[in-house]
Amino acid sequence: MMAKMKKAQSQTPAVESQSPAPVAPQPGQLQRRRMPRWAWLLLVVVVAGGLFLIPGGQREDLDVAAEFDLHPLVKIPAIGPIDLSITKGVVYLWIATAVLVVAAIVISRSLKPTPSRFQFAMESLYGLVREGIVNSVMKSGGDTWFPYIASVFFFVLTSNFVGLIPLPFAEHNQFGFYAATANLYVTIGLALFTFVFTHYAGIKKHGFFRYVKSWVPSSAPPVLKQLIFVIHVVSEFFRLVSLSVRLFANMLAGHAILGVFFAMALIFQNYLAALVLQGGSVFIYMFEIFVAFIQAFIFAILSAVYIGGALEQEH
Amino acid sequence: MDAEAAKLIGAGIAMGAGAVGPGIGLGILLGKAYESMARQPEISGDIRTSMFIGIGVTEAVALYAFVVALILIFVA
C-alpha cells in the first residue's frame, strides 16, 4: 500500500522519463523492475519476425464457392418435375423450424414473473416486433397481421443465425457454414408470402375493383392513368424481387466474405499472416451477426409496410 | 479476348460501377439521419428505425449489382 502510494506520487509530474525511476524496495517486499519500453518493442518484433519466418504448411486448394452447391444428402426420386431429395438447404430449414418451435414451447410453458435471461431476450424480441414494427408502421391491421410479421421475423432471424453455426452437412460430412436464406428459392418463397398477403389484405378490405382503382390517383387524364397503372403493377412485382434478392444477396455475400477471410488465413502459408487474418475473421464474423439481425428486421418491417399500405390505400 | 476473360472483366465492372451509387446514397442518408438525431434527440429512436429501413433498401441496389456479377461469373 505504501509502495503504491509512493509510486503514484512519483508519476504525477507531467514529464515521463524514458526509463522510470526504480522504486525503493520496502523491507520484506519483492523489488519489481518494470521492463523499459524498448524491451517490449524488441520482444514484439522478435515474436512477429519469428512467426513470419517459420515455414508454413502444405498448400491446399480452397474453393469458397463450393459452399453454396447443394448436393442431395438423401436421394428421393422426383415426382414429375419436382425433385424431392433432401439437400443441405432442406435440412437447414428443418433445423430453423425445430429451433423456433422448441424455443417457443419451452418459453411459453415456463413464464415467470421475474424473467430468466432467455425469457427476457424473447420478451425483448417480442416487444421489438410488436412496438417497433407492427404498431409503428401499420395503422389499421396491426392485430390481424402481427402473427405473420412475427413469424417471418423470427424465422428469418433463426435461419440467418443458424447459418453462422458450423454444422456437419458439407461435403463428406465435414463441418461447414451454410445459411438456408442464402438460397434464392427460400427467400422467394418468403417474399411470395408477403406478396400474396399484401394483395389478399387489400382485396379483402376494399374489394377487388376499388383496390385496383386505388393504385392510380383519380384526378388524372386517362392516358396518364394507364401509364401510372402499368408502372404501379411493375413496381408491385419488383417489390417481390427486391424483397427476396435483398435477403438472398446479403446472406450470400456475407457467407462468401466469411469464406474468403477464413481461407485467407490459410492461403499465405505464414503464421504471422494467419494470426492477423484470424483476428480480422473475428471482426467480420461479428459484422455478419449484425447483418443477420438487420436483414431479418428489414424483411419484417418492409412486409409490414407493404401490408399496411395495401390496407389503408384510399386515393 | 475469349468469352471467359470478357465475363470476368464484365463482372468486375458490374460490381465496381454498381457500388458507387449506393455508396453515395448511404452517405447522404446517414448524414441526414445523424443531423436530424442531433436536432431532435428525443425522437432518435424513430429516426434510427427509419434509418435502418433506408439502409436496407439502399444496400439492396448494390446487391443487385453483386447478383449480376455472380451471374456473369457462374451462370452465363
Comparing CA positions, the residue from B20, B27, B18, B17 lying closest to residue B55 is B27
For residue A21, is it within any domain? no
**A246 contact residues in B (CB cutoff 8 A):** 56-57, 59-60, 63
The yes/no answer to whether this complex scores an ipTM above 0.85 is no
Q: Which domain, by its residues, includes A102?
A: 65-312
CB contact under 8 A, B60 and A249: yes
Q: What are the φ/ψ torsions at residue A314 (nearest 5 degrees)?
A: -140, 75
Q: Does B8 touch chain A (CB under 8 A)?
A: no
* Chain B stretch 46-65, residues whose beta carbon is closer than 8 A to a beta carbon of chain A: 46, 49, 52-53, 55-57, 59-60, 63-64
Q: Which domain, by its residues, includes B33?
A: 3-75
The total of structural domains in chain B comes to 1
Q: Does B26 touch chain A (CB under 8 A)?
A: no
Residue A57 confidence (pLDDT): 66
CATH code, domain with B44: 1.20.20.10
For residue A250, is it within any domain? yes
The total of structural domains in chain A comes to 1
Rounded to whole angstroms, how far apart are CA atoms A250 and A30? 58
For residue A240, is it within any domain? yes
Residue A25 confidence (pLDDT): 59
pLDDT tens digits along A79-127: 777 777 788 888 899 999 999 999 989 888 888 888 888 888 889 999 9
Probe site for chain B from A130, A246, A293, A295 (most B CB atoms < 10 A): A246
Rounded to whole angstroms, how far apart are CA atoms A124 and A131? 10
What predicted TM-score, i.e. pTM, was given to this entire model? Answer: 0.80
**B53 contact residues in A (CB cutoff 8 A):** 298, 301-302, 305
- What letter represents residue A141's amino acid? G
Rounded to whole angstroms, how far apart are CA atoms B8 and B72? 7
Asked whether the predicted pLDDT for residue A54 surpasses 80, the reply is no
How remote is the C-alpha of A113 from its chain's centroid?
A: 31
